[in-house]
Structures are given as structure tokens and as C-alpha cells.
Amino acid sequence: MALTRAIKTDKVKKLAGELEGSTSAIIGTFSGLTASKDFELRKAVRGAGGNYHVVKNKLAARAAEGTKIEAALKGLKGVSSVAYTSGDPVALAKALSTWVKDNAEFTFKLGIIDGKVIDVREIAELATMPGKEELFSKLLFLIQSPAQRLATVINATGRDLAVVINQGVEKGKFAGPAAAPVAEASAEEAPKAEAPAAPEADKVAEAHEVESAAGEQPSGAEQPENSTASQGGEAASTDPVEG
């Protein structure tokens, strides 16, 4: 008897440790379930991130004390099994509902999600809802979609602007290529500005010649006066002196 109690206590402690972190559970019952089908059921529950146990009603109630699924495991009658998870309750409901469609030996009793007890109808409705991963994917898509559209528009605008600039450069529509003809025109005007320098130099030379001619004429005009004066002097010196 003592051994039986020890075994029961150990089972309660073990189950309590597993149920402690659980947030959702679905309690069911079965009749005539074969070992192979039981194995398939456990595999389906594990695939949804949960665990599955066939439990004694009183032991399950004791093990669930203080947990979030305590309310669902109180007052159970008949054969009971519990599938529980700390993850997505929708995924667990989907996995069990899919398996139950092909295995009438198993039926639902009730369920619990975050402390709220749900009935069989609500379990079926829960199985039709999108799971957490699906909801997160849709939410992430909605968040990223505007940013992706904006990035696409910005990238397209940049590419279009680059194409327009390249076409403009190739067709010479910008001011950069016109600088060379202006420089050539300036180079052509420079000799034209220097060309009048030769006539001005000729005029300056002619002016010097005129001045030189004007300066020599007076000296030539004085020469007769000097010669007359000298002749007069000679004449005076040759006249006899009367005594």
C-alpha cells in the first residue's frame, strides 16, 4: 500500500512539473483506442509542440493545482487524457481536430486557454483560426509592405534619374561640352586685338621723321646769314685804311 502511494505521489509530482509551465490544454476521452493509434495521436501532439498523457482524474487534479490549467482538470469523470502546451494553442487544436476526423474513437471533453475554460464547440472554432506563426507572418508582411513599396519607388526614381542624366550627357544637352568653343573664340580674338599695333607703329615713325625735318630747316636757314656776316667781315678787313 505504501508503495502504491509512493508511486502515485511520484506521478503527481512529475505531471505537476510538466503542467506547471503549460498555458493551454485539451482534455479528451477515448474508447477502444489501439496502441498504434495511441502512438499516432502522441506523435501528432508532439508535432504541434505539445505533450500527451492518459491520466487518473484525481491525480490530474492534484497535479494541476496552482497551474494555469487547474480549472480544466478538476471534477473529471470517466477515462481522461490531456494534451497540453506552453506554445500555440491553435496549433494544438488543429493537430487534435485533424486526427479526430479520422479516428472516431477519440472525443473532446473540454479545453482551457490562459485560464479560460472552453467547450467542445469552441475547440472546433479554435482549430479553424490562424496559428501564431501565421498571424506573425501576416503582421510582418503588413509592417514591411509599406517600407518595401517606398524602397522600390526610391530605387526606381534613382535609376530613372541616372538614365536621364546619361542620355543628356550623350546628346550634349548640358553646359559642360560648350566650354571648348568659347575658349577657341577667345584665342581667335586675341590676334585681332594685336593686329592694329603695326599701323600705330608706322604713324609714330612718321611723326619722328616730321619732327626731324622741322628741326633741320632752321639750321639750314641760318647758314646764309653766317656766310654774309663772314663775307662782310672779310670785306671790312680788306678796305684800305685812310691815313
pLDDT over 90 at 44, yes or no: yes
If one counts every other C-beta atom within 10 angstroms of the C-beta of residue 97, the result is: 16
Q: 205: which 3 cell numbers?
A: 615713325
Please report the pLDDT score of residue 155 as a whole number: 66
pLDDT over 50 at 218, yes or no: no
- Whether the full predicted model's pTM is greater than 0.75, yes or no, is no
2-129 in CATH: which number?
A: 3.30.70.1730
Q: Which of 32-36, 126-130, 147-151, 236-240 has the lowest mean pLDDT?
A: 236-240
Instruction: State phi, psi for 115 to the nearest 5 degrees.
Output: 85, -5
List, as one string, the DSSP characters of 24-81: EEEEEEESS--HHHHHHHHHHHHHTT-EEEEE-HHHHHHHTTTSTTGGGGSS--SSEE
**Average per-residue pLDDT for the chain:** 73
Strand ranges for 50-203 from DSSP E:
51-55, 80-85, 106-113, 116-118
If one counts every other C-beta atom within 10 angstroms of the C-beta of residue 30, the result is: 18
Q: Which segment, 104-113, 160-169, 191-200, 221-230, is predicted with the most confidence on average? A: 104-113
Q: Which segment, 80-84, 128-132, 169-173, is predicted with the most confidence on average? A: 80-84
Q: Which of 53-57, 62-66, 219-223 has the lowest mean pLDDT?
A: 219-223
Q: Which of 39-53, 91-105, 212-226 has the lowest mean pLDDT?
A: 212-226
Please report the pLDDT score of residue 136 as a whole number: 63
Please report the pLDDT score of residue 232 as a whole number: 43
Where are the domains positioned within the chain? 2-129
If one counts every other C-beta atom within 10 angstroms of the C-beta of residue 83, the result is: 26
Please report the pLDDT score of residue 40 as a whole number: 93
Residue 241: pLDDT band (50, 70, 90) is very low
Provide the 8-state DSSP code for 1.
-
